[in-house]
Chains A and B, each alone.
Chain A
Amino acid sequence: MKTLAVLTLGFTIVVPAFGAEHIHPAFALKDWAGNTVFDEAAGVSDMTTCGQCHDTAYIQAHNTHKEHGQDVSCFQCHLKGGLEGLEPEDFNGQGLLKKPMTPPDCNTCGQCHGMVHQDKKFLEIGPEILEGKEVGPFGRTLQTGEIFSPQIITFSHIDLKDKYKLDYPWDIHAERGVHCTACHFPANDPARPDLTTRKGPKHLKRDPRTLDLGSYLKKPDHRFAAAQCEACHDTVKAHPNLPYPRRHMEALSCQACHVPTLRGPALESTDRTVVTSKNGPRMTFRGVDVGHGPDYPNTWFYKGYSPALLHEGGKDRFAPFNLVTTWQWIEGDSGEPVPFETVRKAFKGEDGEYLPGLKALFDKNHDGRIDSSELVLDSRDKTDAIRTRLESLGVKSPRIVGTVGSHPIRHGVVAGKWVENDCRTCHGVESRFNEAIPLASGPFPGGVSPTLDKKTKALIAGRRLEDRGGGLVLGGNEEPEGHYVLGHSRRPWSDWFGFWVFVLSVLGVAVHGTMRMLSRRKHAQAPGGTLEKVYMYGVYERIWHWTMALGIIMLLLTGFQIHYSQGFALMAFPTAVFVHNFFAVVLLINAFLGMFFHLATGEIRQFIPEGAGLLRRLWIQAVFYGKGIFAGASHPFLKTRMHKLNPLQQFTYVGLLNVLFPFQVVTGLLLWLAGLMPEDTVAFGGLSVVAPLHNLGSWMFLSFLVVHVYLTTTGHTITSNIKAMFTGWDISEDEPHETSRGEAS
């Protein structure tokens, strides 16, 4: 019977999260010695009270709150209103507490963890935030700017930038009724085995060997899970329109795009070495314009800020963080931070007013009050005065330290069109990866320059702290942590080498062309043989050529759009990627068909330099371009239907088609594969090797294009070659002996 009762009990508690029938039995409140007591004042102990049925020792030993140094009693989370809120009618005739113990709701969590706003009233930010408590009703909101509320942002009562466009909830999960405990639940909760992050062999999706409900109720493991997004969302299916979803999922945390902007008052720095008139630390905020009302947070102008994308080493991916610089007093010997309450006593008397001596010291403009600009330990006098005060309060050799800490951003999730969907936020020159993040602006308290704490140091590898005009900023990183970000990352050697090859081609063509024009005036066209129209290029050859031309031009345009996205505004980034891939396929098919044609018809022979004396003939052709052409000499090799290409052309095309083209195809394919199968691309160095090579290849193609187009003008007339490629009909000089002509020049 008892077992059955426990089972029923377990089932009803575990399954329905809300609107549940509260079946917790009435129970006696006990003090630490186990005596029954009737009110909070008598010293109720949760260890003994809850210990009547639950294994409180186990719960305390397996407790996330405890691990973080927070002593949270059972009643704080499980009894609405806490022990303080108990009324006589909450007890039954036998003096047992009948008010139900319930699973915690979000408001309960919000008491310590930050802004949770679930009631019908419009969201406001109260002046209590000025106390700067990072554990309390503004906890995470201060650390990161996160606000967990189902309300539409537009309807809040705070002053927000573009408020009337912000037509979405503060947090989509809050709006969808996914409450705190839906993701943060006891690690051994048998109802949620598939959401836990328990490690097991790779081939097992979940471990069915859970606790039975009775044992679970006795020993709920209070080391709370933090269910990953993937526990509920199929990330690949959820992104049908995202190019290369696997690559993106691998390199980015979901929040990187799904928390693009935070609009709560997130700290930039907090100076806990001083105490403001509101008994809080001196604080600066990110994306908040405090304006003329520093004491009235509801009147501030909240512009919002984009969090820093930092590299989580363990997962090798980027996730959003807020960096907060904190200055505080520590005890010189132990290194323990001095409690803020002690600092407050150092500044203020019993009456809550600043001590008279300090007032004189801080109030530089003698207006009778300490302004926010005056309230900073920017001189030795001030620092020493506070140090002396602290010493008199029993703090041993106090000193100031400044640290930059990091807070991961997990909430404030948005969905749909509010997700960051502008590719250029990352894939642009001014990418978020490269954003300099202001950390603190001077003067620094006690002249102490802040340092990164250990956790933060690991996150920002590759970026450096920089001193810019008295302020401390975290510099950007072009190639964040070895991640080559297309459109953002640069390899100067590839860009510059390619660029110079291109410049030299243009210069060469310009010089050569000018010389030709000049020499043309001197030498009239040498009288050639009889002119004859020759059907030079067949239909297929021309289609093949122009498809190739169109493909290459489109690939160059879209490629440059992707790589140099900021300076180039031809089309949107994703369109460019799509069109680029499209024409890559077109070109590849064209190349295969072309190869088949040339093989099948034997036209391939035209490309193969025949017989011996290639070097000599190359030389002859080069000499013609370098000298003869200016003297009005005729082409050394006759262009005929069977010999369309001169030796230099043969040489170039063999190189182009057998080296550069495959090179570009292979590097391009690898780029594409890197998006599809990110893990397997590492073998050949990943994007950071392949992408610059592909980029270099594209410059080569562009240079070829320049020279190629120029050389078409060296035909019988300037346009005759181009016309021939359209019509197929070329003008040929009827000369009987090609070799003799060659020898002649």
Chain B
Amino acid sequence: MKTLKPVRGVVLGIASAALVAVVVWWSVGTKADDARPTLPAPRPHLDHSAFFNQPFKNGVDVTKACLKCHQDEAKELHDTPHWQWLGDEEKIPGRDGKVRIGKKNVINNFCISIKGNWSSCTKCHAGYGWKDQDFDFDDTSHMDCLVCHDHSGGYAKDKAGWPRKDSDLLAAAKSVGYPTRTACGSCHNYGGGGLAVKHGDLDSTLDNPDPEDDVHMGKYGFTCVDCHGGKGHTIKGKTISVSTNDENGIGCADCHGAAPHESERLNQHADKVACQTCHIPTFANSIPTKMWWDWSKAGDDTRKDDIHHYLKIKGEFRYASHVTPEYYWFDGTAERYLLGDRIPDEGPVRINHPVGDRDIPGARIWPFKVHRGKQIFDTVNRTLLAPLTSGKGGFWHDFDWDKALRLAVKYTGLPYSGHYGFVKTEMYWPINHMVQPKNKALRCVDCHGPQGRLDWKALGYPGDPMNEGVRP
């Protein structure tokens, strides 16, 4: 076998030369797309259809059936904002001490407050029967599993969160799976009392979106929970409408990395400009969102405007689509108007102004929907008030502001002087969804130069940084 050895040498030589050639060839080829490996995998879910065969009387029965196996999940849900409508304890910028805030106790400039108006608002509570302040949050049998996990499409909620009468509970129970876009959207797309009213970047186009509606969901088939995942029913991500920080939040860089652009200059922008700023050039691109709500005009019988301009119970509105956001520095935290705070003597009341400026580390220029309006306040105590609206004797029934305010006192605990007026308020909604395909992203001249959309002075620059030579 002595003769074979040299053969090996020759073969080895040729093979290694060929290998070098192949490696060279390979390296000349194209680079892989970076975010692709992080695309969500399909989530298999156990088919539950065999577990249920008897019709359910009501939602609580369904939940009880679920709890037979899912005791732990009930415990998980128990502490979450979806159940409590309160977040964790947090320190609000500009205030001492820590508080728990959430939908349960904050005020906004849409329907103002849930206090006293529970039944209408808790239609979107992940539970059954929250109709007054005595709701028992420890009764896990009143949790609503189906609102998130239904895949049948035949489940909907009504007053105080009870299933609508025409819901097919059995079909819904058999169908359960991971939350669909439609399930999340059934509440989040309808915040503020109607489709697309509140967020501006969330509406029913996201149920079955085109790439132009949202590139993640429309082109790559993302569901909400692909980004808003989380362990044990704790959903990732929050917004400054009901919270004041971004702990347990989601960042684009989680998947895309900190330097996702080919261009070095664009990556430099990422220090000071949120991804959303360029990649969501406009929001509410299909369905108009509410931009202005004037409560002071409510109660007028004579007005015959259509419901998108005027409602007797709510007042005057302005909707808009293809809205260019407003841009503010934002470090992830926000100031917060809490019930009982004295409002400033001048200017509009900022309910949740984002914190940030050029010099705050981590603050970036971020797109916002700013919802402006006029809402009721106490002219003597100078506090915003939370009137009774949908509750018994509330404004929506009797159209008497004074009565609605007096009745609300026992729920809110806020003193009411007997004198009220209307004050301009502003609410800030960071824009995160409806990310556009990359060819729709803003280009240099959309912000820089004579036709730029940014107000550089307001953002704290001496002028357009492109010309001033100030890096972002």
- In the bound complex, CA of A575 to CA of B25 (Å): 7
Taking the complex as formed, is B301 at the interface, i.e. its CB lies under 8 A from any CB of chain A?
Answer: no
Taking the complex as formed, is A645 at the interface, i.e. its CB lies under 8 A from any CB of chain B?
Answer: no
Contact with B467, one of A16, A105, A416 (Cβ below 8 angstroms): A16
Which range contains the number of A residues in contact with the other chain? 35 or more
Chain B residues 1-51 with CB under 8 Å of chain A are 3-7, 9-10, 13-14, 17, 20-21, 24-25, 28
CB neighbours (8 Å) of A571 from chain B are: 25
Flag if A547 contacts B17 (CB, 8 Å): yes
Flag if B24 contacts A579 (CB, 8 Å): yes
Q: What's the minimum C-beta distance from B281 to chain A, rounded to whole angstroms?
A: 11
Flag if B6 contacts A542 (CB, 8 Å): yes
Q: Mark A617-648, 1 if CB is under 8 A from B, else 0.
A: 00000000000000000000000000000000
Flag if B3 contacts A550 (CB, 8 Å): no
- In the bound complex, CA of A571 to CA of B21 (Å): 12
Output the nearest chain B residue to A538 by Cβ-Cβ distance: B6
CB neighbours (8 Å) of A582 from chain B are: 20-21, 24
Flag if A18 contacts B467 (CB, 8 Å): yes
CB neighbours (8 Å) of A19 from chain B are: 449-450, 456, 463-464, 467
Output the nearest chain A residue to B467 by Cβ-Cβ distance: A16
Q: What's the minimum C-beta distance from B227 to chain A, rounded to whole angstroms?
A: 25
Flag if A726 contacts B466 (CB, 8 Å): no
Q: What's the minimum C-beta distance from B293 to chain A, rounded to whole angstroms?
A: 28
Among A167-175, A500-508, A670-678, the one that faces the other chain is A167-175
CB neighbours (8 Å) of A105 from chain B are: 450
Taking the complex as formed, is B262 at the interface, i.e. its CB lies under 8 A from any CB of chain A?
Answer: yes
Q: Mark A565-576, 1 if CB is under 8 A from B, else 0.
A: 000000110110
Flag if B24 contacts A539 (CB, 8 Å): no
Which range contains the number of B residues in contact with the other chain? 20 to 34
Flag if B443 contacts A150 (CB, 8 Å): yes
CB neighbours (8 Å) of B10 from chain A are: 542-543, 546, 726
Q: Mark A420-455, 1 if CB is under 8 A from B, else 0.
A: 000000000000000000000000000000000000
Chain A residues 569-604 with CB under 8 Å of chain B are 571-572, 574-575, 578-579, 582, 586
Q: What's the minimum C-beta distance from A719 to chain B, rounded to whole angstroms?
A: 14
Q: What's the minimum C-beta distance from A577 to chain B, rounded to whole angstroms?
A: 10
Taking the complex as formed, is A91 at the interface, i.e. its CB lies under 8 A from any CB of chain B?
Answer: no
Flag if B24 contacts A546 (CB, 8 Å): no
Q: Given A19-B450, A550-B14, A726-B10 in contact, is the A175-B439 Cβ separation under 8 Å?
A: no
CB neighbours (8 Å) of A550 from chain B are: 14, 17
Taking the complex as formed, is A154 at the interface, i.e. its CB lies under 8 A from any CB of chain B?
Answer: yes
Q: Given A118-B445, A546-B14, A574-B28 in contact, is the A18-B9 Cβ separation under 8 Å?
A: no
Taking the complex as formed, is B99 at the interface, i.e. its CB lies under 8 A from any CB of chain A?
Answer: no
Flag if B444 contacts A17 (CB, 8 Å): no
Chain A residues 1-31 with CB under 8 Å of chain B are 15-19
CB neighbours (8 Å) of B345 from chain A are: none
Query: Among B9, B10, B439, which residue has the most Cβ atoms of chain A within 10 A?
Result: B10
Flag if B13 contacts A547 (CB, 8 Å): yes
Q: What's the minimum C-beta distance from A585 to chain B, rounded to whole angstroms?
A: 11
Flag if A729 contacts B28 (CB, 8 Å): no
Taking the complex as formed, is A179 at the interface, i.e. its CB lies under 8 A from any CB of chain B?
Answer: yes
Q: Mark B423-449, 1 if CB is under 8 A from A, else 0.
A: 000000000000000010001110011
Flag if B464 contacts A18 (CB, 8 Å): yes
Taking the complex as formed, is A336 at the interface, i.e. its CB lies under 8 A from any CB of chain B?
Answer: no
CB neighbours (8 Å) of A554 from chain B are: 21
- In the bound complex, CA of A586 to CA of B467 (Å): 52
Taking the complex as formed, is B468 at the interface, i.e. its CB lies under 8 A from any CB of chain A?
Answer: yes
CB neighbours (8 Å) of B456 from chain A are: 19
Q: Please classify the interface of chain B as helix (H, G, I), strand (E, B), loop, or mixed, using the class held by over half of its residues.
A: helix
- In the bound complex, CA of A578 to CA of B27 (Å): 11
Flag if A727 contacts B7 (CB, 8 Å): yes
Output the nearest chain A residue to B457 by Cβ-Cβ distance: A19
CB neighbours (8 Å) of A575 from chain B are: 25, 28
- In the bound complex, CA of A28 to CA of B20 (Å): 78
Taking the complex as formed, is A728 at the interface, i.e. its CB lies under 8 A from any CB of chain B?
Answer: yes
Contact with A543, one of B9, B20, B444 (Cβ below 8 angstroms): B9
Taking the complex as formed, is B302 at the interface, i.e. its CB lies under 8 A from any CB of chain A?
Answer: no
Q: What's the minimum C-beta distance from B33 to chain A, rounded to whole angstroms?
A: 13
- In the bound complex, CA of A554 to CA of B5 (Å): 26
Flag if B445 contacts A175 (CB, 8 Å): yes
Flag if B468 contacts A119 (CB, 8 Å): no
Chain A residues 148-184 with CB under 8 Å of chain B are 150, 152, 154, 167, 169, 174-177, 179
Taking the complex as formed, is B451 at the interface, i.e. its CB lies under 8 A from any CB of chain A?
Answer: yes
- In the bound complex, CA of A175 to CA of B446 (Å): 9
Q: Given A105-B450, A543-B9, A543-B13 in contact, is the A728-B445 Cβ separation under 8 Å?
A: no
Contact with B17, one of A154, A586, A729 (Cβ below 8 angstroms): A586
CB neighbours (8 Å) of A18 from chain B are: 449-450, 464, 467
Flag if A175 contacts B28 (CB, 8 Å): no
Flag if A416 contacts B7 (CB, 8 Å): no
Contact with B445, one of A150, A539, A726, A727 (Cβ below 8 angstroms): A150
CB neighbours (8 Å) of B25 from chain A are: 571, 575, 579
Output the nearest chain B residue to A543 by Cβ-Cβ distance: B13
CB neighbours (8 Å) of B450 from chain A are: 18-19, 105
Output the nearest chain A residue to B13 by Cβ-Cβ distance: A543
Q: What's the minimum C-beta distance from B15 to chain A, rounded to whole angstroms?
A: 11
CB neighbours (8 Å) of A120 from chain B are: 451
Q: What's the minimum C-beta distance from A573 to chain B, rounded to whole angstroms?
A: 11
CB neighbours (8 Å) of B5 from chain A are: 539
Chain B residues 326-354 with CB under 8 Å of chain A are none
CB neighbours (8 Å) of A174 from chain B are: 445
Query: Among A19, A179, A550, A554, which residue has the most Cβ atoms of chain B within 10 A?
Result: A19
Flag if B24 contacts A16 (CB, 8 Å): no
Flag if B14 contacts A579 (CB, 8 Å): no
Q: What's the minimum C-beta distance from A191 to chain B, rounded to whole angstroms?
A: 12
- In the bound complex, CA of A543 to CA of B6 (Å): 9
Q: Given A19-B467, A150-B444, A726-B7 in contact, is the A177-B449 Cβ separation under 8 Å?
A: yes
Flag if A176 contacts B464 (CB, 8 Å): no
Contact with B28, one of A542, A578, A586 (Cβ below 8 angstroms): A578
CB neighbours (8 Å) of A119 from chain B are: 451
Output the nearest chain B residue to A241 by Cβ-Cβ distance: B28
Chain B residues 50-105 with CB under 8 Å of chain A are none
Output the nearest chain A residue to B439 by Cβ-Cβ distance: A167
- In the bound complex, CA of A150 to CA of B445 (Å): 7
Q: What's the minimum C-beta distance from A80 to chain B, rounded to whole angstroms?
A: 11
Q: What's the minimum C-beta distance from A15 to chain B, rounded to whole angstroms?
A: 8
Q: Mark A518-545, 1 if CB is under 8 A from B, else 0.
A: 0000000000000000000001001100
Output the nearest chain B residue to A169 by Cβ-Cβ distance: B443
Output the nearest chain B residue to A575 by Cβ-Cβ distance: B28
Q: Given A546-B14, A547-B13 in contact, is the A154-B439 Cβ separation under 8 Å?
A: yes
Flag if B3 contacts A729 (CB, 8 Å): yes
Contact with B262, one of A16, A154, A416, A542 (Cβ below 8 angstroms): A416
- In the bound complex, CA of A572 to CA of B21 (Å): 14
- In the bound complex, CA of A176 to CA of B10 (Å): 57
Q: Given A177-B445, A416-B262 in contact, is the A727-B463 Cβ separation under 8 Å?
A: no
CB neighbours (8 Å) of A150 from chain B are: 443-445
Output the nearest chain B residue to A416 by Cβ-Cβ distance: B262
CB neighbours (8 Å) of B449 from chain A are: 18-19, 177, 179
CB neighbours (8 Å) of B443 from chain A are: 150, 152, 169, 175
Contact with A177, one of B4, B6, B20, B466 (Cβ below 8 angstroms): B466
CB neighbours (8 Å) of A539 from chain B are: 5-6, 9
Q: What are the 5 closest A-B residue pairs judged by CB atoms, nearest first?
A: A177-B449, A167-B439, A150-B445, A539-B6, A177-B448
A-B contact pairs, 12 of them (CB 8 A): A16-B467, A18-B464, A19-B456, A19-B464, A176-B445, A542-B9, A546-B10, A546-B13, A546-B14, A578-B24, A579-B25, A728-B3
Residues of B within 8 A of A (CB): 3-7, 9-10, 13-14, 17, 20-21, 24-25, 28, 262, 439, 443-445, 448-451, 456, 463-464, 466-468
- 4 more contacts with CB within 8 A, not counting A177-B466, A572-B28, A726-B7, are A105-B450, A546-B13, A578-B24, A727-B3
